[in-house]
Amino acid sequence: MSEPVAVRAGAPLEDPIPEGRRLVDSATKRGLTLRLLGGVAVYLQSPPAGPLLPREIGDIDVVTRRGSRTALTHLLTEAGYTADAMFNALHGARRLVFVDEANQRKLDVFIEEFSMCHDIPIAGRLDRDPYTIPLAELLLTKLQIVRLNERDQRDIYSLTYQHPLANGREPGVETAFIADVCARDWGLWRTVKATIERCQENVAGYDLEPAASALISERLAALWEQIDQAPKGAKWRLRSRVGDRMRWYDEPEENL
């Protein structure tokens, strides 16, 4: 990880990577827990050369624990962000939105869990990395996307190529965590299955070395095998009987 970035109140940085670190450093100094996810987190979890498949990063996404809304709002306001008052009044229990007007960039703040097509619990392990959510949660926020776009597909390939699958005792993507979360939610399991299959089909369309494509495919297959073989509970089995006859995911609103 890079060295902490000096905090300058009221001056969001143009580059989202150091800006993300700046915000986390500022929160940490005030005793607040703030961690990055999304494209900035993928970049920070990459080697010095950057992600395998770089892509443009627009917004900054962070997560915090419940109970820090007021303190975090003060911090972000001092850091040069403007709160979306209407959105925050309606959705503030689970999510906040701020705007960096100078750089025309949105800052999304998730509270306790990541909620888009599916709900991903992420608050319980925020202390594992000084800047980002853990790799397992980071990859899962990408795998839970029903309508996968090219940007998120690139992130999945970068994460699976640059980080080995792990069992929790060594660095890497903790497959047991992902499998356990999917084993409790048939809808998430169903979406992750479709996303992994799509990624396996599409990887050949990228200008990658054959060895890189093969490694990505191998790791995605191994990840799915563990997800599929994980013991499922009664709630999962009951929902699986309904299958695709009932929609199994949420449709995030366009402004979310």
The CATH number of the structural domain formed by 16-245 is 3.30.460.10
The residue assigned the tokens 């509270």 is 111
Amino acid 170: pLDDT: 84
Q: What is the model's pLDDT at position 9? A: 56
Q: Write down the domain spans for the chain.
A: 16-245
Helix ranges, the chain (H) = 16-29, 38-44, 69-78, 85-91, 135-143, 150-162, 175-183, 186-202, 210-229, 234-242
Q: What confidence tier does 254 reach under pLDDT thresholds 50, 70, 90? A: very low
* Per-residue confidence (pLDDT) for residue 168, from 0 to 100: 72
User: Is the pLDDT confidence value at 113 over 60?
Assistant: yes
pLDDT value for 255: 38
Whether the pLDDT of residue 6 is over 70: the answer is: no
164-207 pLDDT, tens digit each? 999 877 899 999 999 999 999 999 999 999 999 999 999 999 99
Whether the pLDDT of residue 3 is over 70: the answer is no
**Best CA proximity match to 37, nearest among 192, 147, 155:** 155
Q: What is the mean pLDDT of residues 60-83?
A: 95
Helix, strand or coil for residue 172? coil
Cβ count near 219 (within 10 Å): 20
Give the tens place of pLDDT for each residue, 220-236. Answer: 999 999 999 999 999 99
Q: Contact 97/82 with Cβ under 8 angstroms?
A: no
